[in-house]
Structure formats: structure tokens, C-alpha cells
Amino acid sequence: MLSQVLKTIRKYRLFEPGDRVVLAVSGGPDSIALLYALKELNARLCLSFCVAHLDHNLRKNSARDRAFVEKAAGAEGLTFYCRTLDRKLIKETGHKEEALRRFRYDFLFSVAKKFRADKIVLAHHRDDQVETVLMRLLRGSGLYGMNAILPKRIIKGHVVVRPFLEVARADILGFLKKRRIGYVIDETNSEDRFLRNKIRNNLLPLLEKNYNPNIRETLSYFASSSGADYEFLSGLVEAFLKKNLKEKNRVLSLSLPSLAALDIALRRLVLRGVISRLKGDMRMITFKHAQEFEDLLFARPYFSEVHLPGRIVILKTKISVDFYISEKALI
């Protein structure tokens, strides 16, 4: 396993010697293996670590997990950062999965700041990737969903890296077993859990047996290749938005001709970009909405509107397309 981790680190240039890094450790097998693998490789990598643990506070034994990780970090002489989530706060913050995700990242970013870290390291591995790709494909997603998990990504100015992304789950478990390293049971708080488990336990073994014995590798390649395609298109779209998107009184506007001149592939991503700026996520926005948007631009009269989930209104005028959150439902 370690050689594959090194290969991934080199291929995507995940670390520079001397980097200060935050390891996100839940205490489950993946993140515990991450801790010990990087420690073993550190003679070559020359990193300074700290360990960050978010106590989700959603299960009875979350304090036990916290103590476990704190002890492991202490035994390795690593600084340990921890935060316990406020259950009430999560309940108040709307969509639970989105809220947890945001809290997790906020916590990691705050640790990165305290530790003056160059990078945040997450333990996602190849099977996470493959399961995520299948999950998105089954639920409905375009290219942007296939771009499941990237080895290196900048989120709000923080570099997030995933050195396990080309390692199979089985190899991680083998590594832990061989070195007799213990871990706690990883119960990620995820609404995806049910579907993910079904994919992991039923669908993937079935595909492996009846369709392609290398399906995990195949889908992992697919994710990697689509990820690069999506990143490229996103770059073009971000440049377009930076140049063309105007904001005034909470209304985001694009000129109608500039939108109409775009290739449809880019226009679909522009729509996503504007919506995520307005409402912070893309939940409930589907391919059908993108089709409606096309219809609005090219087939409906001026001053037509399209209404999307999240109270989003898109208004076509003679010169512009305006996006805003409807006041009506806000009152």
C-alpha cells in the first residue's frame, strides 16, 4: 500500500518537503491508516503533522472515538485539535448533510489556520471514489458529478489533498492488520449511508462478478479522467462568470447575448455556477432545469420567468438574464 501512496503523492505533487499538514482523523480504519502510513513515509516526505478530530456528537460512543484518536495522536507526539458539534445548531441549519459537511470543513479550516498548515489531508480512498461515482450516476448527475473526488483541490483557499485516492479499501485494511493497528468503527454521519452500503455490498460485487472483474479500477479511471475534463470546463466557466456576471441589489445578471453565444456545455455549467452562488448548493437542481433554462433563452418571449427549487427566479429581459431569490416566499 505504501508504494501506491507514494506514487499518488508524486503523480499529483500532493506534498512539498517541509509542508505543515492537518490530518483529519475520525478514528475509523481509513483515517487511522492515513496517520500511520504518513508517519512511516515521513522519512521521505519530511512533513510536520497535527491531528484534527471533529466529534459529531450524534452517537453515544462519539466521546470514546474522540478519546481513541486523542490517545493515538499523543502516542505519536502530535498536536491534537478537537471540536464537539452542537446538536441543536445542526438541527437548526436546515439540510443535515450539507450542514455537517460545512461544519467539518469549517473546523478543518480553523485548525489549518491555528497550525499555520499548508495542506489538509483527507483519507478518501479508491472505493470511496468508485462508490461515489456509482451513487451519482444512479441518482442522476452530469459530468460535474463524475468529478467525484479529486486528489488535490483548493477549497476556500485551503489545499485539500487525498493521498489514499488510488488505494483500495482492502489494501488499507491489510496494512492495519499486518501492523496490528486498532481503530474504531467508522460511522460517517451520512444520509448517503444506505445507498452507499447497498452499492458497496451488493452492486459492486455483482458488477465485479458478472460484468468486469476490474470494475473498481475501471470506474476509478473514469472518475479521474472525467474529473480532469470537469476541472477544465469549470475553469472556462469561472473565467466567463468573473468577466460577465454583474451583481446589483442581490440580483445576479448576465447579458443575454453573452449567454446565447456560449456552447451549450458551458452554458449548463454557467447555470450551475450562478445558482450555487445564489443558494450555496445545487440540491434539487436537475438536468430538467437546465433544459428549461435553454428553453427560456431560446424559445420563450422576453420577460418570461423560470422558477427553480430554493425560490430561485430566472427572468429573461431584452438584454439580460437575471437570477434572484424570490422575495415572496421570504416574507
For a copy of itself, the binding residues (CB under 8 A) are: 137-143, 195, 198, 202-203, 206-207, 210-212, 214-215, 218-219, 221-222, 224-226, 228-229, 231-233, 235, 263-266, 268, 286-288, 290
- Smallest separation, CB 104 to a copy of itself (Å): 27
Sign of CA dihedral 314, 289, 311, 234: negative
Q: Report, in Å, the least distance between residue 53 CB and a copy of itself.
A: 34
Least Å distance, CB 222 to a copy of itself, is 6
C-beta closer to a copy of itself: residue 142 or 310: 142
Strands 320-325 and 251-255: antiparallel
Q: How far is the CB of 219 from a copy of itself (least distance, A)?
A: 7
Q: Where are the beta strands (DSSP E) in the chain?
A: 20-24, 48-55, 79-84, 119-121, 152-155, 158-161, 246-248, 251-255, 305-308, 312-316, 320-325
Chain centroid, CA 12 distance in Å: 17
Minimum CB distance to a copy of itself smaller for 232 or for 302: 232
Nearer to a copy of itself, 66 or 289 (CB): 289
- Comparing CB distances to a copy of itself, the nearer of 224 and 253 is 224
310 and 325 Cβ atoms separated by less than 8 Å: yes
- The DSSP result for 268-285, as a single string, is HHHHHHHHHHHHSS-TT-
Q: What proportions of the chain, in percent to the nearest 5, are helix, strand and coil?
A: 55, 15, 30
CA-CA distance, 30 to 123, in Å (whole number)?
6
183: closest CA among 69, 64, 28? 28
Task: Determine how β-strand 158-161 pairs with β-strand 152-155.
Answer: antiparallel
Query: What is the DSSP secondary-structure string of 28-45?
Result: SHHHHHHHHHHHHHHHHH
* CB-nearer residue toward a copy of itself: 70 or 294: 294
Identify which of residues 145 and 310 has a Cβ nearer to a copy of itself in the complex: 145
Q: Which is nearer to a copy of itself, 139 or 179 (CB)?
A: 139
